[in-house]
Amino acid sequence: MENRLKLNIKQWAEEDRPREKMMEKGASALSEAELLAILIGSGNKEETAVELMKRVLASCSNDLNELAKWDMRNFSSFKGVGPAKSVTIMAALELGRRRKLAGTKERPQITCSQDVYHLFQPIMRDLSQEELWLLLLNQSNKVINKVRISTGGIDGTYADVRTILREALMQRATGMILIHNHPSGNPRPSQEDKRLTNHVNEGSRTMNIRLSDHVIICDGKFYSFADEGEII
């Protein structure tokens, strides 16, 4: 360890650098001590950042949940962990806690055209021009994401079928629904709306992606291609 006294992470031997290891092998290849070492950047005169973090973790039985309860006084009892490093670790642990909480939220499930209307009516009711959106679904019809594909003038919107299919493929959707608005207040589809629906439906079949519906939204009413039997 003598040759690493006072060295920061950039000066360590390459095989000991957690940053480089993460870039080469991914975050999952790093130990918890190595991940924490990246946060603090350097150790003290006697220990590298990894060695210091191993000792910190050992003091709380290698339990990150326990470590998350620490305050600055706990961290500052270790040589080389000052206020800035303590706050950095505490912030990272707090982000982990918030991510865990966010992950427990249930994704909405789409069971009918009414669900689509309630999801998008707040987004589209006050728009003065047409927008085309794509609702991406998993195998259970739960929402993966909502993606705005294009925005056009009040007389129409431009849609590229390839763009729609690429979004679905990139986000690994197994199902999708087209949604756009009619600022005129008339929900009936135009011939261009019907052509777009047919083209997307044909293209999605070749990708093994299900086009469940195309919903046209106005304030207080909507039109569903699926409900009208226009998507097979």
Determine what percent of the chain is predicted with pLDDT higher than 70.
89
pLDDT in tens, 54-77: 999 999 999 998 999 999 999 999
| Residue at 162 is within a domain | yes
pLDDT in tens, 113-162: 999 999 999 989 888 889 999 999 999 999 999 999 998 754 455 678 89
| Residue at 230 is within a domain | no
Q: What's the domain range around 7?
A: 2-103
| Residue at 93 is within a domain | yes
Residue type for position 59: S
pLDDT in tens, 71-94: 999 999 999 999 999 999 999 999
The tally of domains found in the chain comes to 2
Residues 11 and 99 in one domain: yes
Q: How many other CB atoms are there within 10 angstroms of residue 174's CB atom?
A: 16
Q: At what angle do helices 32-40 and 83-103 cross, to 10 degrees?
A: 130
Please identify, among 103, 132, 148, the residue that sits at the C-terminal boundary of a domain: 103
Backbone phi and psi for residue 163, each to the nearest 5 degrees, phi listed first: -65, -40
According to the model, what pLDDT value does residue 157 have? 58
Q: Binning pLDDT at 50, 70 and 90, where does residue 104 land? A: low
Domain harbouring 123, CATH code:
3.40.140.10
Residues 86 and 27 in one domain: yes
Residues 43 and 78 in one domain: yes
Please identify, among 103, 132, 164, the residue that sits at the C-terminal boundary of a domain: 103
Host H or E run for residue 137: strand 131-137
Residues 134 and 80 in one domain: no
Residues 99 and 181 in one domain: no
Per-residue pLDDT averaged across 35-43, rounded? Answer: 93
Please identify, among 68, 103, 138, the residue that sits at the C-terminal boundary of a domain: 103
Residues 73 and 156 in one domain: no
Residues 144 and 166 in one domain: yes
Residues 121 and 210 in one domain: yes
| Residue at 231 is within a domain | no
According to the model, what pLDDT value does residue 145 have? 95
How far apart are alpha carbons 221 and 128 in whole angstroms? 16
Residue type for position 26: G
| Residue at 232 is within a domain | no
